[in-house]
Structure 1
């Protein structure tokens, strides 16, 4: 765990955490508070937008996909209200296209889940020229494959036959993969 005294958060420690996974959000909020951030949490795009409207935070960690919309909407709103904010976009569906979109909308960095508090803190506090260190626990190749399959499945509106066709995979093979738990 990072030593809070060693972190250079700056004069404004305000941090918005937005994710629809409530247990993850609570754990991350506690971890970031221990690091010296003044945390506000939101479970939806509407809540995140309301927090930004009420006073734009210096830092934000935003989930990309939420029940009521897209985290990129909050990135845009935050950039309008506070151009100097440091924004990290988190998602369970890591892909180059979404990373590029997040950065174009104004995100400072982009991390795939599962990301821990140290990875997030490093990304938030990295300087413009600094590259954050590689993650301590990167996703395994099996996990990356599983995430990609899940993403395509969601984009095909959970249609197994269409997903199998697009992935050039037999439908039964895809069904077996979808029935299993996600790899670590």
Structure 2
């Protein structure tokens, strides 16, 4: 998108690949990147449903090229407070990808959601992406901590397969340098999960 190579009808028409450059979604105006992502009637409704149209609109006068507009939206950054403070750049990039994906579905004769549901999907995908990044950082911060010098640390873990009723355990013994001193694992053919153990007690 930033390189202007998205196969919009307007871009294809300029390269003498497509005969007609009209937007296949709203049938009004030439479909270039700016139109497809921002000014198409359906795209505009999606941004309005996400309540960020007021932040996109000032950027639209910045340049005719959709690539430059996307770049400007990313550069400006910021957070969307009403959507759990997710990043505006992430929301616009996810939204642009989703709008392009639904446009492809429409062109191939598939059903697409209404703009309100598309907006909800975009918000959910972006929020999940932001949460996954936070989880990764938490894991790094709360990862394995080495024991004091000349001490060993035992790490244990267990798993339970609800379908087979079996499970397993694993133990790792490491020194202060993180080097593995010993390992052990066991397969448990008949296991009750933690919830049922509490009920049986």
TM-score range, shorter chain: under 0.3
Whose radius of gyration is greater, 1 or 2?
2
Under a length normalisation based on structure 2, what TM-score does the superposition of the two structures give?
A: 0.24
Pick 1 or 2: higher relative contact order, CA cutoff 8 A, min separation 6.
1
